[in-house]
């Protein structure tokens, strides 16, 4: 079959890998690199080179069975990163380092009243959300959920909300409307047990190395960079016609893995895909601006309080700064910034990403989108089509599309078998 794939992020690359052995694939990418939200920045500091992932960076060893199996089959090399978290309140200069494992942080439990109070509050929120997460209950928003938890408003608004908003990278003012399910899923499943940090996977050589490793396996895939798909139509012979600025391509099947709004725009003027386009255009997005920098003012003032993830709250807004230089004690950070408010000094790079607002409506739209999968030979993949939009979800979306297009694919069946072992 001739198969087109729009988008070269994790979902598009995985779909290409699953289909490449038996089909003639064309992969369209509007940017000048493959990878989409898996994006690495090369930074030089004090004569040393660093590769910083300013998009997807960490991958769960426990709740990413398909992705972990895929990494092993393709042969991607990864590292382990013990994840730690600091919540820093700029107003009262209080820093809470979680989990409290070092002697210094254990001592703080006894010497700073806010430290223990916040940890107990977080524990209460975890307990209150466990069932909801296990049952995949997506209809409850943060505000409704937190109103039902017996905690003071001070701790809800001054700790829980800014913490969850900062960890997720959601706009603070929109956090009330987000489903509690995505905000809590990672926390519920990655609670540290005992005196240990929870370890996550990171890619050796950055995520660009992961994408390059997948790309190098492709034999029958033609990748067209700098090629934005403008329009998709269905022709009378049952072919899907893809229009770029320069050319028309004809395919038996097409997988669209750009974000929902990209996909909606591409299909907007095609009557045969009108229903899909209408659904896609209803997904709401927000802009996440990621600055890679060396500006210490974005970190908690006392270096001993630095964690891998550092959420700063100033009373009206919260944002996370990731300490990417932690292994070598280097001052390299990646911060979610509000560009209108404060730009870091010592800037290395800025990326802008669009992420879906994961409200209860987002999850209803996922279900609606499932009803138009495959109509007129077009399939929708990408993180936003499944669960919380993690990299695992991007991979699952590719698997689901390929299950429909070529259920006999050798790689598909190998991957599913290997993933079932990871699932345990
Ligand atoms: C800042 C940030 C941090 C994240 N951190 C993590 C993390 O640590 N762990 C995790 O699991 N997930 C993380 N994610 C989620 C991440 O988005 C997913 O893990 C995954 O990388 C998304 O892959 P995708 O293929 O669905 O989409 P994308 O990576 O967005 O790929 C879509 C591609 O489609 C292309 N495209 C769009 N429209 C067109 C068009 N018209 N023509 C041609 N090409 C087009 C885009 O250029 C893009 O390359 C993070 C996301 C962001 C933004």
For residue 224, report the distance from its CA to the centre of ligand 1, in Å. 17
Between 410-423 and 65-74, two packed helices, what is the crossing angle to 10 degrees?
A: 120
> Which structural domain, as residue segments, surrounds residue 331?
80-201+285-356
Please spell the DSSP secondary structure of 295-361, one letter per residue. Answer: -GGGS-SSGGG--SEEEEE-SS-EEEEEETTGGGT---EEEEE-TTT---SSEEEEEEEEEE---HH
**CA–centroid distance, residue 115 to ligand 1 (Å):** 36
* 225-240: pLDDT as tens digits: 999 999 999 998 999 9
Do both 152 and 182 map to the same domain? yes
Between 113-134 and 103-111, two packed helices, what is the crossing angle to 10 degrees? 100
Return d(Cα 396, Cα 248) in angstroms, integer.
Answer: 29
Separation of CA 37 and ligand 1 centre (Å): 3
Q: Which of 331, 356, 381 is the last residue of a domain?
A: 356
CA of 384 to the centre of ligand 1 (A): 9
Domain co-membership, 197 together with 322: yes
> Is residue 4 in contact with ligand 1, taking CB distance under 6 Å?
no
Q: Is 118 helix (H, G, I), strand (E, B) or coil?
A: helix
Given this model, what pLDDT does residue 424 score?
A: 60
Q: d(Cα 135, Cα 130) in Å, to the nearest integer?
A: 9
Mention every residue, 6+ apart, whose C-beta is less than 8 A from residue 153.
Answer: none
Residue 210, classed as helix, strand or coil, is: helix
> In this structure, which residue's CA is closest to atom 35 in ligand 1?
7
Which residue, 332, 356, 380, sits at the end of a domain?
356
Confidence bin at 70 (pLDDT 50/70/90): very high
Considering the domain architecture, whether residues 289 and 141 belong to the same structural domain is answered as yes
- Round to whole Å and give the CA distance between 213 and 42: 18
**Shared-domain flag, residues 336 and 302:** yes
CA-proximal residue: ligand 1, atom 20 (nearest): 391
What atom in ligand 1 is closest to the CA of residue 265?
A: 41
Look over the chain and give the mean of its residue pLDDT values, rounded to a whole number. 96
Q: pLDDT digit string (tens) for 96-153?
A: 999 998 999 999 999 998 999 999 999 999 999 999 999 999 999 999 999 999 999 9
Same domain, yes or no: 316 and 219:
no
Q: Are 100 and 227 within one domain?
A: no
Count up the domains in the chain and report the number: 2
Final residue before a domain boundary, out of 305, 340, 356 = 356
H or E segment and range at residue 81: strand 78-83
Cβ(10) to ligand 1 under 6 A? yes
Whether 69 and 209 have beta carbons less than 8 Å apart is answered as no
The string of pLDDT tens digits covering residues 77-94 is 999 999 999 999 999 999
294 CA distance to ligand 1 middle (Å):
25
* Ligand 1 pocket residue status of 291, Cβ below 6 Å: no
- Residue 307 shares a structural domain with residue 397: no
Per the CB < 8 A criterion, the answer to whether 295 and 418 are in contact is no
What pTM value is reported for the model? 0.97
Percent of the chain with pLDDT over 90: 94
Question: What average pLDDT does this structure show over 206-231?
Answer: 97
Is the same domain home to 19 and 69?
A: yes
E strands in 21-77:
24-28, 40-45, 48-53
Same domain, 170 and 109: yes
For ligand 1, whether the C-beta of 394 sits within 6 Å is yes
Residues 369 and 327 in one domain: no
- Per residue in 278-293, pLDDT (tens digit) is 999 999 999 999 999 9
Q: What is the CATH number of the domain that holds 239?
A: 3.50.50.60
User: What average pLDDT score do residues 17-34 get?
Assistant: 98
| Integer-rounded Cα radius of gyration of the chain | 22
Q: What is the pLDDT of residue 160?
A: 98
Q: Is residue 326 located within the same domain as residue 380?
A: no
Quick one: pLDDT band at residue 194, thresholds 50, 70, 90?
A: low
Q: Determine whether the shortest distance from the Cβ of 387 to ligand 1 is under 6 A.
A: no
Quick one: pLDDT at residue 421?
A: 85
pLDDT class of 422 with cuts at 50, 70, 90: confident
Q: Provide the pLDDT for residue 339.
A: 73
Residues 233 and 243: beta-carbon distance below 8 Å: yes
* Residue 9 Cβ < 6 Å to ligand 1: yes
Model pLDDT for residues 296-314, shown as the tens digit of each residue: 999 999 999 999 999 999 9
Three-state secondary-structure class, residue 195 = coil
288 C-beta closer than 6 A to ligand 1: yes
Whether residue 68 has pLDDT greater than 90: yes
Residues 373 and 350 occupy one common structural domain? no
């Amino acid at each position: 079959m001739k198969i087109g794939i729009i988008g070269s992020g994790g979902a598009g690359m995985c779909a290409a890998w699953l289909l490449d052995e038996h089909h003639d694939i064309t992969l369209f990418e509007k940017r000048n690199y493959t990878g989409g939200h898996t994006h690495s920045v090369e930074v030089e500091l004090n004569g040393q080179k660093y590769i910083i992932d300013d998009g997807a960076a960490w991958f769960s060893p426990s709740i990413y069975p398909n992705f972990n199996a895929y990494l092993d089959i393709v042969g991607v090399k990864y590292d382990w990163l013990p994840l730690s978290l600091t919540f820093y309140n700029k107003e009262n200069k209080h820093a809470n380092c979680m989990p409290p494992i070092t002697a210094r942080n254990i001592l703080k439990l006894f010497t700073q009243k806010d430290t223990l109070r916040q940890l107990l509050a977080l524990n209460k929120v975890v307990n209150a959300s466990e069932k909801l997460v296990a049952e995949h209950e997506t209809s409850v928003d943060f505000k409704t959920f937190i109103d039902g938890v017996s905690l003071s408003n001070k701790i809800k608004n001054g700790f829980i909300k800014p913490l969850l908003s900062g960890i997720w990278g959601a706009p603070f003012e929109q956090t009330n409307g987000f489903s509690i399910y995505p905000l809590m899923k990672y926390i519920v499943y990655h609670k540290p047990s005992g005196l240990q940090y929870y370890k996550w996977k990171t890619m050796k050589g950055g995520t660009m190395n992961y994408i390059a490793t997948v790309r190098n396996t492709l034999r029958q895939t033609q990748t067209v960079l700098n090629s934005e798909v403008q329009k998709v139509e269905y022709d009378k012979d049952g072919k899907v016609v893809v229009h770029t600025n320069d050319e028309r391509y004809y395919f038996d099947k097409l997988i669209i893995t750009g974000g929902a709004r990209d996909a909606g725009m591409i299909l907007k003027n095609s009557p045969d895909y009108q229903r899909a386009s209408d659904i896609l255009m209803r997904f709401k997005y927000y802009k996440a601006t990621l600055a890679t920098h060396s500006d210490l003012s974005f970190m908690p003032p006392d270096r001993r309080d630095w964690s891998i993830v550092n959420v700063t709250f100033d009373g009206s807004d919260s944002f996370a700064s990731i300490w990417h230089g932690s292994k070598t004690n280097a001052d390299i950070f990646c911060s979610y910034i509000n560009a209108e408010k404060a730009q870091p000094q010592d800037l290395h790079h800025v990326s802008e990403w669009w992420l879906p607002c994961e409200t209860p409506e987002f999850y209803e739209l996922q279900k609606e989108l499932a009803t138009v999968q495959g109509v007129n030979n077009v399939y929708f993949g990408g993180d936003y089509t499944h669960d919380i939009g993690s990299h695992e979800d991007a991979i699952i979306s590719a698997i689901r599309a390929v299950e429909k297009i070529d259920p006999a694919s050798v790689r598909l069946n190998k991957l599913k078998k290997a993933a079932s072992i990871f699932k345990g």
